[in-house]
Amino acid sequence: MPELGEVAHAAKLLSTNLKGKTIANFVTDAKDTLVFPSISPQERSKIEHAYVSKTVADIGRHGKYFWIILSGGRESAKAQKKKAGEYNVMLMHFGMTGWLTIRNVHSHFFPMERSRNGQKPDDYEEKAAAEPWPPKYNKFLLSTDDGVEMAFTDPRRLSRVRFLQIANSNADVETAEQIENELMKLEPLVRMGPDFSKAESRWSQDEFLEVLSKRKVPIKSLLLDQAVCAGVGNWMADEILFQSRIHPEQYTDKMSLKKKQQLYNMLCEVCEIAAETEGNTDKFPKSWLMLHRWSKRQKKGERSVTADGHIVDFVTVGGRTSCFVPKLQTLENATHESNNAGDEKLEAKENSRAKKPKTEPADDDDLKPARTRKRTRK
């Protein structure tokens, strides 16, 4: 699933290739009623017509969402003046298997679930270059007046594309920041937490610690909560916990203050690096777990190991496969005395599970529907 880093890459592709250009053609998949929620094919037809001749004013992103801001259009000068301060926005979310492709423009992105032992297959680029245009499973096609062609694809139809109108409350200041502020007041972005890759968006350490103090859940589950950490998905959560040396099953109410502070620092650092590198694994630090979490055992008894030689293992937390290093990520004891036998029993169970040897790493079933996921421990 594309996460914060991959979304930053998509936003960069759009900004580099579309910003400032005029839309010459825009066509959506008329049969798809899932990718385009709450809007009929007839309404989409009107939008397709209205978007032609509009200019791509800017590109924005927050967490796993990104958007294209459009301005101008076919309206007369009088109509445009009447609509001053109103902008059209295409708000997009990749879901599990969505992506965008710009014709004849290279992208380093590839679905990690297709990797071979954590690496991109040797023939992947050749196969990608040989694919016909428009791509299979395209949900909308957009082209500009100077010949740039872009396709939004999704074979599983779990992505979402919304067409919004934003009324800028400060029409005298026509900036992407002003429009983003208005956009963040609307569904579904209004329910999103901070994007920790952006210093202006994220909570302070004290604010983050206050959130932790009010929760009693496994830390992996909290990091995946988009109302807390927008943009953090499965692999990023695993990386944050590995760099913090925290077990994915560690309960938030049983973490020491030092670990919580370390978690905040690593949350900011990993998100920043993921966005800066645009999710390009070739540019990730060699010490990152991400480079090893997708590797599968090749023969009996063989395990994937980190750059430092530590064995990588897997555990299921909240229905999600979590990769971690048992030697470095252990469960902490309670930071305060348990008030009842139930808490003590739970803590003992957690410690027992952390020490239990695994016979084989679990397959990463992050992309499977919850009802079909299999338990990874026997």
pTM: 0.83
The whole-number pLDDT of residue 297 equals: 52
Residue-wise pLDDT for 131-153, tens only, equals: 899 999 999 999 999 999 999 99
Whether the per-residue pLDDT at 155 is higher than 90: the answer is yes
Give the separation between CA 251 and CA 217, rounded to whole angstroms: 5
Whether the per-residue pLDDT at 249 is higher than 90: the answer is yes
Q: Is 172 helix (H, G, I), strand (E, B) or coil?
A: coil
Whether the per-residue pLDDT at 171 is higher than 80: the answer is no
| Residues 172-211: b if buried by 16+ CB within 10 A, e if exposed | eeeeeebbbebbeeeeebeebbbbbbbeebbbeeeebeeb
Q: Is the separation of the CB atoms in 311 and 210 below 8 Å?
A: no
Q: Is the separation of the CB atoms in 63 and 4 below 8 Å?
A: yes
Query: Binning pLDDT at 50, 70 and 90, where does residue 111 land?
Result: confident
Which element (helix H / strand E) includes 353?
A: helix 341-355
Q: Is 259 helix (H, G, I), strand (E, B) or coil?
A: helix
The whole-number pLDDT of residue 350 equals: 46
Q: How many CA atoms lie within 13 A of 2 on its CB side?
A: 27
Give the separation between CA 205 and CA 218, rounded to whole angstroms: 19
Q: pLDDT exceeding 70 applies to what percent of the chain?
A: 79
CB atoms within 10 A of CB 371: 6
As a whole number, the mean pLDDT across the chain is 84
The whole-number pLDDT of residue 313 equals: 92
Give the separation between CA 366 and CA 112, rounded to whole angstroms: 11
Whether the per-residue pLDDT at 354 is higher than 60: the answer is no
Query: What's the whole-number mean pLDDT along residues 207-229?
Result: 96
Among the listed ranges 121-130, 266-275, 312-321, which one has the minimum average pLDDT value? 121-130
The whole-number pLDDT of residue 258 equals: 96
Give the separation between CA 275 and CA 112, rounded to whole angstroms: 17
Whether the per-residue pLDDT at 323 is higher than 80: the answer is yes
Give the separation between CA 340 and CA 218, rounded to whole angstroms: 19
Whether the per-residue pLDDT at 130 is higher than 50: the answer is yes
The whole-number pLDDT of residue 294 equals: 72
AA letter at 294: W
Where would I find the beta strands (DSSP E) of the chain?
A: 23-28, 54-62, 65-72, 86-93, 99-102, 138-144, 149-153, 160-167, 313-317, 320-324
